[in-house]
Amino acid sequence: MQNLEEKELYVVESDTEILGSFVLHFGTDPTYEKIDGAWLNEEPYAAIHKVASAQTQRGVGSLILSYCKTRCQNLKIDTHADNLPMQKCIQKNGFLYTGTIFLQNGDPRHAYQFSDENK
């Protein structure tokens, strides 16, 4: 509900269906304060979270990441170690693996960053 109230929740739709959704959060994210590794830079960033696809059309993840790059040139994202399709999508779209972050409950996630300066 908070993402909706803060107008951070986006929906990807076709003429006939919802294809996916994601959150684009501008500002710091407490989850990204500590990393086992190193971020590419310490500049202001936007975080991409809760990427979901209806899996009815290919390329929705890339569409989401491309859109986010039009809104911010410094982006961070994370995903579960077992989510190989998402890892492939993230890397295919120019994000670099930067290390491991830990959620509030201690669960590890692979962390990635995209920055225009590192193209």
- pLDDT values of the chain reduced to their tens digit, one per residue, 119 residues: 565 567 789 998 888 899 999 999 999 999 999 999 999 999 999 999 999 988 777 889 999 999 999 999 999 999 999 999 999 999 999 999 999 999 999 999 999 999 987 65
pLDDT for residue 81: 96
Asked if residues 64 and 12 have their Cβ atoms less than 8 Å apart, the reply is: yes
**What size, in residues, is the chain?**
119
pLDDT for residue 116: 81
pLDDT for residue 43: 95
* φ, ψ (nearest 5 deg) of residue 41: -160, 175
| Residue 96 domain boundaries | 2-118
Torsion sign across C-alpha atoms 66, 61, 12, 103: negative
**Cα 82 from chain centre:** 16
- Domain CATH code at residue 69: 3.40.630.30
pLDDT for residue 5: 66
- Name the domain count of the chain: 1
pLDDT for residue 71: 95
pLDDT for residue 15: 85
Place of tokens 């919802």: 18
Rounded Cα gap, residues 107 and 70, in angstroms: 30
In this structure, the number of other CB atoms found within 10 A of the CB of residue 91 comes to 12
Global confidence as pTM: 0.91
**Cα 52 from chain centre:** 11
